[in-house]
Amino acid sequence: MGFPGTWMTESESVVYRVVPKCACSSIGQIMFYSDHGKFFDGDIHDATGGMHKWAIEASQPIIERNVKTHASYAFTCVRNPYTRILSSFFDKICGVQRNGKRYRGNMVPLLTQKYGIDVGGDDGTADFDQIASFRRFLLFARDTIRWRKPMEPDIHWSAMSGHVSTYIVNGGRYDHIFFTEDFDAGMQHVLNNIKTKHKVNLKKIPKFNESESHGPKRAHPVEDYFDDLSRHLMWEIYKRDFQLFKYDFDNPANKMPLGPVDLNEVHAKLGE
DSSP 1-62: ---TTEEEETT-SEEEE--TTSSHHHHHHHHHHHHHSS--SS-GGG--SSEEETTSGGGHHH
Residue of higher predicted confidence among 106 and 60: 60
Give residue 187's pLDDT band: very low, low, confident or very high (50, 70, 90). Answer: very high
As beta bridge partners, residue 102 has: 96
| Structure confidence by residue, pLDDT tens digits, 174-184 | 999 999 999 99
117-170 tens-digit pLDDT:
988 777 666 789 999 999 999 999 999 999 999 999 999 999 999 999 999 999
pLDDT at position 212 is 58
Least confident of 8-17, 36-45, 167-176, 214-223: 214-223
The mean pLDDT of 219-225, rounded to a whole number, is 97
Residue 78 forms beta bridges with which residues?
Answer: 179
Would you say residue 98 has pLDDT above 90?
no
Mean pLDDT within 86-103 = 86
Pairing of strands 14-17, 73-78: parallel
What's the pLDDT at 126?
Answer: 77
